[in-house]
A and B are shown apart, each in its own frame.
Chain A
């Protein structure tokens, strides 16, 4: 979807800024909002660019920095921690050869932490883009990531 198309989905009111930013971020392969997009969106909604930037930096799910095609977010909160007996983060980190908050060289994967994603009854849990994965085991984590590598998202 082009930016114009996303903008045309919503009434031209500044209250839709976050909805628009979420759509743009979701839509783009590298999941970030560029400076040009900030300018276009600000003009369209008749708001200051600095306002768009303040929203971008406030919300964890929005980014002004280029990220991978698949953003792997591992839950770090207590219920998941209590049920993580193999270290989810270390497993992914080793498998992809990246550290926390890094992106792989081929720009396929970024590794991030997330706060609780409300799946604590099936901990440990993680999220890749808009998909949630629960009851993780070492094998399962690796399989999920490899299936993304194959491109069959």
Chain B
């Protein structure tokens, strides 16, 4: 089997509501070990592990932690559990199945960087996860893993839950910070970065749920050993949210370097109803769309750079040959049109225009001129938007223009043939 279960290995074996179950599986031993090691050594192990962020951007974790560790005064750690990117559900699984693992990860992070306060920002739609995390925090406090003088040391750290209110953009770090402060979730111009000036103007370290969940594992096997898992370009395991037209939809944990094809065919069991794959969207609505012929590509960010893209948070959306690329793109663009925070012009104005142009393709009313307008609009939004939302939203258009040029050509020809346009 190509599964490599580390972060998910306790799933189903422990009762997520029971801290005793977690303790019996060596839970909270890694924060003990970390406290013994001291901040410098922990950061060194994390550096050696070469772990990158699992929330989408894939930034090296140790670099952010080290610069944050150098800041002084009251400092915050935020666990990003907004998980709004369509096609992703891994963070929900982590919260619902092994919540103490996340808390232990946050503790290791806080201890090694000198942070004393934490937030977990969870989207309101995840009511069950919110209930579980609230219970988990209470239990951890009761067992003195959270609060003042943790494990009878001078280390103090506590966590508060904050709920999102239905805004995808609040997964972006500065939008999230604004939201925690009780404001509309609109991003800020960087620099300063959150690690310098984040929530309430204080240094803030933001990482994804899966990123934090990796830290106890790194403490257990050590950074070097961790770096041996995965491919030459990316270390560790990755949770994959597999959805769409595939037999065994679900969550899988694999080491980096497995191919997309193996995940879809070996773990996913292939495509139902004797259908063929038309395309696969990588990462979610903001990801590129690739054809069947490219499925041999390995899962790691380095290789995904050929598409100027990333595996993102790990969604694979499989789309079979009954589907029209323009229907899919339209849904993506309508999503971004709705979710744009409106702060910068290309994103605020551009998505509506892209929706209108894509509709012409959907309705067989497209011209060559529409194609060129869509192409330039997509590139402008990609290049000039202020935050990651607009910078990545046109991916499905840009990539399908590259990998499915014949679909565009045929649609324009067919539009002309149907006489609904002037060609």
Q: A residues engaging B (CB < 8 A)?
A: 14-19, 21-22, 51, 54-55, 58-62, 76-79, 81-83, 114-123, 127, 130-132
User: Are A115 and B84 in contact (CB-based, < 8 A)?
Assistant: yes
Task: With a 10 A CB-CB cut-off, give which of A61, A115, A118 has the most chain B CB atoms.
Answer: A118
A60 to B242 Cα, complex, angstroms: 27
Q: How far is the CA of A112 from the CA of B200 in the complex (A)?
A: 34
B60 in the interface (beta carbon within 8 A): no
Minimum CB–CB distance for B159 against chain A, Å = 15
Q: Which of B166, B180, B249, B317 contacts A60 (CB 8 A)?
A: B166
Closest to B338 in A: A115
Contact among B86, B331, B339 with A120 in the assembled complex (CB-CB below 8 Å):
B86
Most buried by A among B243, B317, B320: B243
For B128, the chain A residues whose CB sits under 8 A away are 132
Given A22-B165, A115-B338, A17:B182 Cβ within 8 A: yes
B281 at the interface (CB under 8 A from A): yes
Q: How many residues of B contact A (CB 8 A)?
A: 53
Distance from B56 Cβ to chain A, minimum over Cβ atoms (Å): 14
Contact among B84, B249, B323 with A122 in the assembled complex (CB-CB below 8 Å) = B249
* Binding stretch for chain A, among B61-69, B87-95, B137-145: B87-95
Enumerate the 3 nearest inter-chain pairs by beta-carbon distance, A residue then B residue, closest first: A60-B166, A61-B166, A59-B165
**A100 vs B124: C-alpha distance in the bound complex, in angstroms?**
22
8 of the cross-chain contacts (CB-CB < 8 Å) are: A58-B184, A58-B341, A59-B185, A81-B327, A82-B244, A120-B89, A120-B317, A127-B125
Q: Which residue of B lies closest to A123 (CB)?
A: B243
Task: Mark interface residues in B314-334 (1 if CB within 8 Å of A CB, else 0).
Answer: 010101100100011001101
Residues of chain B in range 227-246 having any CB-CB distance to chain A below 8 Å: 241-245
Contact between B243 and A79 (Cβ–Cβ < 8 Å)?
yes
- Per a CB cutoff under 8 Å, which of A19, A79, A81 touches B162? A19
> Do A78 and B87 have beta carbons less than 8 Å apart?
yes
Known A-B contacts: A78-B87, A116-B84. Give 19 more (CB < 8 A). Answer: A14-B181, A14-B182, A16-B182, A58-B167, A59-B185, A61-B125, A62-B166, A77-B87, A77-B285, A78-B319, A79-B87, A81-B331, A115-B166, A115-B335, A115-B339, A117-B125, A118-B126, A121-B251, A132-B125
Q: What's the Cα separation between A62 and B163 when bound, in Å? A: 12
Give the Cβ gap from B288 to chain A, nearest Cβ, in Å. 14
What is the minimal beta-carbon distance from A126 to any residue of chain B, in angstroms?
A: 11
Q: Are B185 and A78 in contact (CB under 8 A)?
A: no
Bound-state CA distance A57–B184 (Å) is 9
